[in-house]
Amino acid sequence: MNRKATRPIGIFDSGVGGLTVVREIHRALPFEELIYLGDTARVPYGTKSPDTVTRFAREDAQFLVKRGVKALVVACNTVSAWALPALEEWLTLPIFGVIEPGAQVALEKTRNGRIGVVATATTIRSRAYEVAINRLDSKARVFPKACPLLVPLVEEGWLRHPVTLAVLKEYLRPLLREKIDTLILGCTHYPLLKPLIRRVTGPKVALVDSAECCARFVAARLSQAGLLHPRQERRGLLHSFVTDDPERFEAVAAQFLGGPVEQAWKVELPPVKLALTGARSSR
């Protein structure tokens, strides 16, 4: 047995949104230990510049690597869009983002090759979904739309509010006009808006939830690499760390995970050291 296999999977995000990815990974891989880091003191990342997002991502990754994780899941679309190459160049362990899995599933689902993407401003600016989709199918057409109000609306708890419906209509109208038949929900918060999004798109547009796609992708790849936890009884635990007040995290996390959450711990993230164990430069 690969001794590494019993180590936890590390998952990080700019805030609480990545817990939608945690929920799906826990569903797909119930025996894995999970460590979650939410950078709640500096959330959101989706409005910040690529340089700043990459700096924050390295600090987040360093925190999890120091805790001996066997793999790293970047639950944040913005980090996946901008900082994945920088992390892969720097670290030796398997690293998974949410963009590639979402792109794959969207291509499986589309019939007319016209795919919409809704995401934060910084994710959209990266064109990461277009690149990932067109690398797999150069004929597919991608219609991107930045939706900066959706995260605040979810965090305000207006999941079924008429204002949220009006905002979604405004954001989605140009994509529907382009006759998309598939829509990628390219931000961890958006799956909570599925019922309202469905009302705007109608039943014929397939919704691709990047959290679900990512979990299936991680499960398949860890299995191929012989890195799945060997135990088949007791379910794995979730250990959560945040950079702002843990109490407020726990309250919002319950909404994302659909039930009460274990205690979270507050941590500070130091600047990155290149001589990190597990970094390529230290081998």
Task: Show which residues are catalytic.
Answer: 76, 187
Q: To the nearest whole angstrom, how small is the minimum distance from the Cβ of residue 247 to its own copies? A: 8
Q: Is 8 left (phi over 0), alpha (psi -120 to 50) or beta?
A: beta
| Dist. CA 267–CA 176, nearest whole Å | 43
Helices (H), 94-239: 99-109, 121-126, 128-136, 150-155, 162-177, 194-201, 210-224
Q: To the nearest whole angstrom, how small is the minimum distance from the Cβ of residue 52 to its own copies? A: 5
| Dist. CA 144–CA 123, nearest whole Å | 10
Cα distances (Å, whole numbers) of residue 243 to 44, 52, 171, 173, 268: 13, 17, 32, 37, 6
Q: To the nearest whole angstrom, how small is the minimum distance from the Cβ of residue 236 to its own copies? A: 29
Q: To the nearest whole angstrom, how small is the minimum distance from the Cβ of residue 243 to its own copies? A: 8
Q: To the nearest whole angstrom, how small is the minimum distance from the Cβ of residue 83 to its own copies? A: 14
| Dist. CA 18–CA 95, nearest whole Å | 15
Helices (H), the chain: 19-28, 50-66, 77-82, 84-90, 99-109, 121-126, 128-136, 150-155, 162-177, 194-201, 210-224, 246-257
Nearer to its own copies, 137 or 250 (CB): 250
Q: Position of tokens 């689902």?
A: 109
Name the site residues for its own copies (rule: CB under 8 A): 40-43, 47-49, 51-52, 148-149, 151-153, 155-156, 158, 162-163, 166-167, 170, 243-245, 248
